[in-house]
Structure 1
Amino acid sequence: MTTNSIQLTGPRVTLRDIQPGDLDAVHAFTSDPTVTQWSIWGPNTLAETRAFIAAAAAEAGQPGRTLFTLAVVVEDRLVGTAGVWVKSAADSTGELGYTLHQDMWGRGIGTETAGLLLAHAFGPMGLERVEATCHPENTGSVRVLEKNGFVFEGRLRAHKKVNGTRRDSLLFAALLSDRPRG
């Protein structure tokens, strides 16, 4: 681990930096058309997954890190990737996202993962607003966001260009000021 490494731990989920040895586990879900159906990327080739892992490993060593692309680990098995990053330092705004192996869907793993990311964003990262977007038909992701206190803010028309075609996204946001004070 580098001095910039992080590990976020919940009851069932651990988020840690992605490592070069994670290639096979990450490629198992990034190459799956069912997993990537709502994404703006994928299904990945092995070369694309290798490049993704190299970029994530390189960012972990950056001083003043503002981008955290992490492995989602459940019971010592890498089952997904998740990230949180600063979108605008001036506005204290960030964004988060996650992708899970389909055998983890519907088990609360996404909800716990997003919650860990949000706590890191509002805590050590010092953000005040965190956004997330998803495909309008991705009902699983909508549930994950709502369970974590994200509020639907609207539909972004023709927001993403995927395979040459523009598509809409749903915009959700969570605010630090909406979080319960503990």
Structure 2
Amino acid sequence: MRGVEITGERLRLREVDHGDIDALLAVYGDPAATEHLPFDPKTRDQVLGMIDEALAAASGPEPRLLYLLAAVETDSGKTVGVARIMVEAEHPHSAEIGLGLRPDHWGRGMGTDLVRLVLQLGFKQLGLHRIWGARAPANTAAQLAMLVAGMVEEGRIRHHVRAKGEWRDSIVHSALEDEWEGFRSRG
């Protein structure tokens, strides 16, 4: 799928472009925003590389496996976060997601809105059956956002990633298309 765009109540997702570098650096380069992520804060050049990779994926051959999307606040038009969807090559109806918001937008329910938009995009526009994401056990804000948005906590992967010089567990959450439809109709 090309030219991804989806709008929710407070956020809109669209393809990233080079104009998003400062906004993405405010997420990927911030020590607070990356505290629970499995990598150290990224440099401007590293973020630029991520944008270049996403632009190449958006214009490359089908099937498209990588989506890096800017999360734009609908009221202000400012890019306040990022969503990443990586479709599994061997199982193209399943995808892993990763999300990030600028720290100055935490605590306002935007994380839940972001998860909801990614699930809607994945199930309705990309035709996925299963969407999953992993979080650090200490990241209770991500836990709450995923649960409220309709994802289910599946379990713990022990010593899943090496982060900040030590092994860290991951907690996996997922949503299935049919369960998500039922969750949405109740919500």
Normalising by the residue count of structure 1, what TM-score does the alignment of the two structures yield? 0.91
Normalising by the residue count of structure 2, what TM-score does the alignment of the two structures yield? 0.89
| Root-mean-square deviation over aligned CA pairs | 1.7
The reply on whether 1:37 has 2:38 as its aligned counterpart is no
Structure 1 unaligned blocks of 5 or more? none
Partner residue, 1:171: 172
> How far did residue 41 of structure 1 move?
1.9
**Secondary structure of 1:34 counterpart:** coil
> How far did residue 88 of structure 1 move?
5.0
Partner residue, 2:70: 71
Matches within 5 A, 1:16-165: 16-64=14-62, 65-74=64-73, 75-87=76-88, 89-90=90-91, 92-165=93-166
Distance in 1, matches of 2:112 and 2:25, equals 22
For the Cα contact (< 8 Å) 1:16–1:72, is it kept in 2?
yes
For the Cα contact (< 8 Å) 2:65–2:89, is it kept in 1?
no
Partner residue, 2:8: 10
For the Cα contact (< 8 Å) 1:23–1:50, is it kept in 2?
yes
Distance in 2, matches of 1:37 and 1:96, equals 17
**Secondary structure of 1:119 counterpart:** helix
Which structure dedicates a bigger proportion of its chain to helix?
Answer: 2
For the Cα contact (< 8 Å) 2:11–2:114, is it kept in 1?
yes
Structure 2 unaligned blocks of 5 or more? none
The amino acid that maps onto 2:7 is T
Query: What count of residue pairs does the alignment treat as equivalent?
Result: 180
CA deviations 1:79-137 (Å, max 9, x no partner) are 11111221255362111110110011111111111111111111222111111100000
Distance in 2, matches of 1:151 and 1:29, equals 25
Distance in 2, matches of 1:27 and 1:180, equals 34
Distance in 2, matches of 1:50 and 1:177, equals 37
The amino acid that maps onto 1:66 is L
Q: List, as ranges, runs of 4+ consecutive aligned residues in structure 1 with deviation greater than 4 Å.
A: none
> How far did residue 22 of structure 1 move?
1.5
